Amino acid sequence: MADRYLSFTGTAPGRFLTRRLGLPQPAALRRWSPGSPGFVGGVLHLTAGKSELSGPAFPEFPSPSDAPAAVLLDATGVRDVEGLAEVHAALHPVVRSVDASGRVVVLGAPLSSGDHHQAAAQQALEGFTRSLGKEIGRGRTVNLVRLTDTSAAESTLRFLLSPKSAYVSGQVIEVGQPQEVDVDIDRDLPLAGRTALVTGGARGIGAAVAETLARDGARVVVLDVPGASADAERLAARLGGSSLALDVTAPDAGARIAEALPDCLDVLVHNAGITRDRRLANMPAERWSSVLDVNLASVLRTTDALLETGTLRRGGRIVATASIAGLAGNTGQTNYGASKAGVVGLVRSLAPRAAAEHGVTVNAVAPGFIETKMTAAIPLFIREAGRRMNSLGQGGLPVDVAETTAWLAHPASGAVNGQVVRVCGQSLLGA
């Protein structure tokens, strides 16, 4: 559904009127398109404290010729309150000059359990990042990456410094230790030779995920309920992939996926999801169980089956779909909020074991308000509030979730594990 307010504020009379009335003025976000550069523009590299990063120097990010499009601040060496003054000193003079739709990425260190001054200073970076994200405006985003070694962080920084992360702001992402990386990754087709399965892929966010993974070279299998098979087949044919008509709640769904994928699978995207909203007092058991079954139980069952049978190969990626409703809660969504919080629990518990036992990462995307048929069905005033109540003042697009999924699915993202990344424009709902 088109965001008419955003279109209106992009016109001269719209800008004039909204300024005079003190109404929000969301910026049109710059997103990736074929042929557009990988970075939002020149990256200004700053340091606060003495860097504690190990590993090779970061690859050459483009330098700014004039005002920076992005600022990368290495604050891993900030160990105390005095060190935080260096964060202020580094960013205060430049923050205003960062381009519209630009990026600020702060690099932080893991919190020390033996040094509470370091832990306080590093935790302070989180409040700093989230606050700057709320005030910076003009479609600019601010994120924090916690890491110790540069060699595992390239795919994450490339994503956050690119137009592909347009709707990701106010996030704290942990990058762990480097994993075995396929040295021959084609930068334009990183998923070449890999197979990706997207549940609920016939429309909405799932269709965008399927398109984006296919753009990155994957052979995509579009799974959806038999009632959506015409759409699934059409999309799969366009992407040179295949479709699978299957209800993910079928008890043998895992076995049927394994059977349909004799050559195994590299990327499993749990995207299928439903809402059946009612306040708890009015919610029949059927509404509760159908949502829990599609959004959570089937995710658990198929994940277990595909790991146990080895259908998901070593080096594989699982990306599940949570929601900010699972993090913040939402009126009328006790069933949906429970199911999506369950997805977060699954990710946090399984991630370290799946990496150790199967060589597979497990992460989640948590969309905020994304413009799809699901959100088009929300009553007008609630819909308008959902759209505006975030730092970017607008809803996201399915492609924003898809690009985040593609980064998590990237062969070089093996050190990103157990993360729940919100794609919500820094929604005011939840942490």
The contact set with ligand NAD (CB under 6 A) reads 199-200, 202-206, 224-225, 228, 247-249, 271-274, 294, 321, 323, 367, 369-370, 372-375
The catalytic position among 5, 32, 336, 369 is: 336
CB 208 within 8 A of CB 229: no
Identity of the residue, 86 or 224, whose beta carbon is nearer to ligand NAD in the bound complex: 224
295 vs 274: CA distance, rounded Å? 7
Identity of the residue, 48 or 253, whose beta carbon is nearer to ligand NAD in the bound complex: 253
Identity of the residue, 48 or 228, whose beta carbon is nearer to ligand NAD in the bound complex: 228
Identity of the residue, 147 or 272, whose beta carbon is nearer to ligand NAD in the bound complex: 272
Total Cβ atoms within 10 A of residue 279: 10
CB 340 within 8 A of CB 291: no
Catalytic residue status for 336:
yes
Smallest separation (angstroms) from ligand NAD to the CB of 27: 20
Smallest separation (angstroms) from ligand NAD to the CB of 365: 8
Identity of the residue, 91 or 402, whose beta carbon is nearer to ligand NAD in the bound complex: 402
* Helical (H) or strand (E) element with 374: helix 373-376
Smallest separation (angstroms) from ligand NAD to the CB of 377: 9
382 vs 139: CA distance, rounded Å? 23
Smallest separation (angstroms) from ligand NAD to the CB of 232: 8
Smallest separation (angstroms) from ligand NAD to the CB of 244: 9
Type of residue at 427: S
CB 336 within 8 A of CB 295: yes
CB 175 within 8 A of CB 203: no
Smallest separation (angstroms) from ligand NAD to the CB of 89: 39
275 vs 291: CA distance, rounded Å? 6
Identity of the residue, 27 or 225, whose beta carbon is nearer to ligand NAD in the bound complex: 225
Pair of tokens at residue 403:
């690009």
Q: Give the closest residue to 266 by CA, choosing from 360, 186, 180.
A: 360
340 vs 294: CA distance, rounded Å? 11
Residues sharing a CB contact under 8 Å with residue 33, sequence separation 6 or more, in sequence order: none
DSSP string, 104-122: EEEEE-PPPSS-HHHHHHH
Q: How, if at all, do strands 103-108 and 312-321 pair?
A: unpaired
* Helical (H) or strand (E) element with 196: strand 195-199
Q: Which residues are tagged catalytic?
A: 336
